[in-house]
Structure 1
Amino acid sequence: MKKYILMIGLLLLTFSLAACNRTPSPEERLDEYLELWNQQKFSSMYKNYVSPAVKEKVKEKDFSERYQTIYKDLEVKNLKVTSLAKEEKDWGEKKRAEIPIKVEMDTLAGPIKFEKNAVLKLKETEEGENWFIDWDTSYIFPDLDEGDKIRIETLKGTRGQIFDRNGNSLAVNGRGYMAGLIAGEIDENAEAKAKVAQLLQIKPEFIDEQLKQSWVQPGYFVPLKKLAYSEQDKVAKLEGLPGTTVEEISMREYPYKEATAHLTGYIGPINGEELKKLKDKGYSQHDQIGKRGLEQLLEDELKEKNGHRIYIEKAKAEPVTLAETPAQNGKDVKVAIDAELQKNVYEQLKGMPGTAAAVDPKTGEVLTLTSSPAFDPNEFVLGVSNERYKELENDPKKPLLNRFAATYSPGSTIKPLTAAIGLQTKTLDPKKERDIKGLQWQKDSSWGSYRVTRVKDIGQPVNLQEALMYSDNIYFAQTALEIGPEKMVDGMKAFGFAEKLPFDYPIRTSQISNSGNLNKELLLSDTGYGQGEVLTSMLHLASMYGAIVNDGTMMKPQLLAQAKPEEWKKELLTAEEAKMLQQDLRLVVQKGTAKLADVPGLALAGKTGTAELKTEQGTRGKENGLFVAYDQKNPAFMLALMVEGVEGQGGSKLAIEASRNVFLQAAQ
Structure 2
Amino acid sequence: MKKLLCIGSFLIVSILLSGCTEKETPADRVEAYVNNWNESKFSKMYTDFLTSDTTKMYDADEFVDRQKKLAKDLGIKNLKVTYKKAKEETEWKEEEPAVFPIKITMDTIAGPIEFEKELTWNYETHEDTDNWYTEWDPSFILPKLTEKDKIQISTMSAKRGKLFDRNGNPLAVNGTGYEAGIVPGKFTDETKKSELAALLNTTVEFIDKQLNQSWVQPDYFVPIAPVAKNNQALLDKLLTIPGITYQETEMREYPYGESAAHLTGYIGKMTAELLEKHKDEGYKETDLIGRQGLERILEERLRGKDGIGIYIKGPETGAVLQKVVETEAVNGENITLTIDAELQKKIFTSMKSEPGTGAAVDPQTGETLALVSSPSFDPAEFMLGISGDRYKKLSEDPLKPLFNRFAAAYAPGSSLKPITAAIGLEKGTLKPAQGLSITGQTWQKDSSWGAYRVSRLHPEAPNPLNLKNALIYSDNIYFAQQALAIGKEDFVTGLTKFGFGEEIPFMLNISPSQISNDGKIASEGQLADTSFGQGQMLANILHLATIYEPILTNGIMYKPTLLLDDKTQQVWKEGILSQENADELKKDLRSVVVDGFAQAANIPDIPISGKTGTAELKTSAEGRGQENGFFVSYNSNNPSFILAMMIENVEDNGGSGYVAEFAAEVYKAIHKQ
Q: Given the two structures, how large is their TM-score scaled by the length of structure 1?
A: 0.91
**One-letter amino acid matched to 2:457:** V
Task: Kindly provide the CA deviation profile for residues 351-372 of structure 1, in whole angstroms up to 9, marking residues without a partner as x.
Answer: 1100000001111110000000
Task: Kindly provide the CA deviation profile for residues 487-527 of structure 1, in whole angstroms up to 9, marking residues without a partner as x.
Answer: 01100000000111111112111100011101211111100
Mapped contact 2:94–2:123 kept (Cα < 8 A)? no
Of residues 431, 453, 457, the one that matches 2:433 is: 431
The answer to whether structure 1 residue 274 and structure 2 residue 274 are counterparts is yes
Mapped contact 2:152–2:313 kept (Cα < 8 A)? yes
Displacement after TM superposition at 1:618 (Å): 3.1
Question: 1: CA distance between counterparts of 2:327 and 2:456?
Answer: 71
Of residues 310, 334, 337, the one that matches 1:335 is: 337
* Residue equivalent to 1:65: 65
* Residue equivalent to 1:657: 661
**One-letter amino acid matched to 1:619:** G
* Residue equivalent to 2:3: none
Question: 2: CA distance between counterparts of 1:281 and 1:211?
Answer: 23
Mapped contact 2:359–2:372 kept (Cα < 8 A)? yes
The verdict on how the C-alpha distance between 1:341 and 1:37 changes in structure 2, with shifts beyond 3 A counting, is same
* Residue equivalent to 1:456: 458
* Residue equivalent to 1:415: 417
Q: Secondary structure in 1 aligned to 2:547?
A: helix
Q: Secondary structure in 1 aligned to 2:263?
A: helix
Task: Kindly provide the CA deviation profile for residues 194-242 of structure 1, in whole angstroms up to 9, marking residues without a partner as x.
Answer: xxx9xx99669989999999949998768676433345x6489669968
The answer to whether structure 1 residue 494 and structure 2 residue 502 are counterparts is no
* Residue equivalent to 1:538: 541
The verdict on how the C-alpha distance between 1:91 and 1:210 changes in structure 2, with shifts beyond 3 A counting, is closer
* Residue equivalent to 1:3: none
Q: Which 10-residue stretch deviates more, 23-32 or 273-282?
A: 273-282
Mapped contact 1:210–1:222 kept (Cα < 8 A)? no
**One-letter amino acid matched to 1:345:** I
* Residue equivalent to 1:148: 149
Mapped contact 2:597–2:657 kept (Cα < 8 A)? no
Displacement after TM superposition at 1:113 (Å): 1.2
* Residue equivalent to 1:263: 263
Question: 1: CA distance between counterparts of 2:207 and 2:517?
Answer: 57
The answer to whether structure 1 residue 288 and structure 2 residue 288 are counterparts is yes
Displacement after TM superposition at 1:271 (Å): 2.4
The verdict on how the C-alpha distance between 1:566 and 1:464 changes in structure 2, with shifts beyond 3 A counting, is same
Displacement after TM superposition at 1:30 (Å): 1.3
Task: Kindly provide the CA deviation profile for residues 160-206 of structure 1, in whole angstroms up to 9, marking residues without a partner as x.
Answer: 10000000000001101235677898988x9xx9xxx9xx9966998
Q: Secondary structure in 1 aligned to 2:249?
A: strand
Displacement after TM superposition at 1:279 (Å): 2.8
The verdict on how the C-alpha distance between 1:518 and 1:587 changes in structure 2, with shifts beyond 3 A counting, is same
Of residues 554, 576, 599, the one that matches 1:551 is: 554
Q: Which 10-residue stretch deviates more, 626-635 or 221-230?
A: 221-230
Q: CA RMSD in A?
A: 3.0
Question: 2: CA distance between counterparts of 1:631 and 1:445?
Answer: 44
Q: Which 10-residue stretch deviates more, 461-470 or 174-183?
A: 174-183
Mapped contact 1:187–1:211 kept (Cα < 8 A)? no
The verdict on how the C-alpha distance between 1:284 and 1:183 changes in structure 2, with shifts beyond 3 A counting, is closer
Q: Secondary structure in 2 aligned to 1:596?
A: helix
Q: Secondary structure in 1 aligned to 2:534?
A: coil
The answer to whether structure 1 residue 520 and structure 2 residue 519 are counterparts is no
Q: Secondary structure in 1 aligned to 2:652?
A: coil
Q: How does 1:615-654 map to 2 (within 5 A)?
A: 618-654=622-658
* Residue equivalent to 1:16: 17
Q: How does 1:296-445 map to 2 (within 5 A)?
A: 296-316=296-316, 317-445=319-447
**One-letter amino acid matched to 2:447:** S
Q: How does 1:173-184 map to 2 (within 5 A)?
A: 173-179=174-180
Displacement after TM superposition at 1:151 (Å): 1.8
Q: Which 10-residue stretch deviates more, 511-520 or 648-657?
A: 648-657
Task: Kindly provide the CA deviation profile for residues 298-350 of structure 1, in whole angstroms up to 9, marking residues without a partner as x.
Answer: 11211210122112111245322221211111110000000011011111111
Displacement after TM superposition at 1:450 (Å): 1.3
The verdict on how the C-alpha distance between 1:44 and 1:185 changes in structure 2, with shifts beyond 3 A counting, is closer
Displacement after TM superposition at 1:284 (Å): 2.9
Displacement after TM superposition at 1:285 (Å): 2.7
Count of paired positions: 655
The verdict on how the C-alpha distance between 1:619 and 1:111 changes in structure 2, with shifts beyond 3 A counting, is same
**One-letter amino acid matched to 1:489:** V
Question: 2: CA distance between counterparts of 1:209 and 1:177?
Answer: 22
Q: Secondary structure in 1 aligned to 2:278?
A: helix
The answer to whether structure 1 residue 613 and structure 2 residue 613 are counterparts is no
Question: 2: CA distance between counterparts of 1:94 and 1:447?
Answer: 113
Question: 2: CA distance between counterparts of 1:448 and 1:111?
Answer: 80
Q: Secondary structure in 2 aligned to 1:500?
A: coil
The verdict on how the C-alpha distance between 1:220 and 1:590 changes in structure 2, with shifts beyond 3 A counting, is same
Q: Secondary structure in 2 aligned to 1:628?
A: strand
Question: 2: CA distance between counterparts of 1:184 and 1:26?
Answer: 52
Give identity over the alignment, percent. Answer: 46
* Residue equivalent to 2:488: 485
Q: How does 1:537-616 map to 2 (within 5 A)?
A: 537-564=540-567, 565-614=569-618
Question: 2: CA distance between counterparts of 1:180 and 1:92?
Answer: 63
Question: 2: CA distance between counterparts of 1:52 and 1:560?
Answer: 68
The verdict on how the C-alpha distance between 1:178 and 1:256 changes in structure 2, with shifts beyond 3 A counting, is same
The verdict on how the C-alpha distance between 1:419 and 1:37 changes in structure 2, with shifts beyond 3 A counting, is same
Q: How does 1:30-69 map to 2 (within 5 A)?
A: 30-69=30-69
Question: 2: CA distance between counterparts of 1:76 and 1:208?
Answer: 31
**One-letter amino acid matched to 1:573:** L
Question: 2: CA distance between counterparts of 1:252 and 1:335?
Answer: 18
Q: Which 10-residue stretch deviates more, 253-262 or 429-438?
A: 429-438
* Residue equivalent to 2:4: none
Q: Which 10-residue stretch deviates more, 561-570 or 492-501?
A: 561-570
Mapped contact 1:207–1:224 kept (Cα < 8 A)? no
Question: 1: CA distance between counterparts of 2:570 and 2:210?
Answer: 59
Displacement after TM superposition at 1:17 (Å): 1.3
Question: 2: CA distance between counterparts of 1:52 and 1:549?
Answer: 90
Task: Kindly provide the CA deviation profile for residues 108-167 of structure 1, in whole angstroms up to 9, marking residues without a partner as x.
Answer: 222211111112222213453111122221221230111111222112211110000000
